[in-house]
Amino acid sequence: MSDLQDYPTLKDDLKPFETILNTQIGSPANKMKKRSSGTFSFSRKQVKECFQNAPKSRKPFRPTDEIIFKFYCADHSYTKLKLPLETKVGSLLESTIEKLGLGEDLILCEVKST
């Protein structure tokens, strides 16, 4: 309130600001309002039912399943090969050398799985 002593002309402007602050913060009706973002909101029960009724399309990989391997080169280029999951590392390197036309000095640096 020391500002009011320094600037007495602002006393008339203070009342509207106080009423705005009191209605937004202090009003119990405003505290109980639910925020809505315009998106759907589900209860836990609805989410659980949704997942229980979803088809179980996921299955484990089999060794004979073909997956896509990405092979990155030092110059930041890469190539893709579709090979069976059970393919040995030596066969992977041979296939990559054959596709890229590189020499025999290809080195495996990193293996990642997602």
Task: Read off the pLDDT of residues 35-80 as tens digits, 9 standing for 90 and up.
Answer: 555 566 667 777 777 677 666 777 888 889 998 888 888 778 888 8
Same domain, 26 and 63: no
Residues in the chain: 114
The domain total for the chain is 2
- Its pTM stands at 0.44
| 73 vs 25: which has the higher pLDDT | 73
Has residue 45 been placed in a domain? no
d(CA 104, CA 69): 19
Same domain, 63 and 22: no
Which ranges of 11-114 does DSSP label H, i.e. alpha helix? 11-21, 28-31, 44-53, 89-100
- At 86-98, the pLDDT tens digits run 989 888 888 888 8
Has residue 36 been placed in a domain? no
Expressed as residue numbers, the domain containing 85 is 59-114
**pLDDT score recorded for residue 36:** 56
Same domain, 22 and 67: no
**pLDDT score recorded for residue 77:** 82
d(CA 76, CA 95): 19
Q: Which two tokens stand for residue 110?
A: 């990193």
| 63 vs 109: which has the higher pLDDT | 63
Same domain, 64 and 110: yes
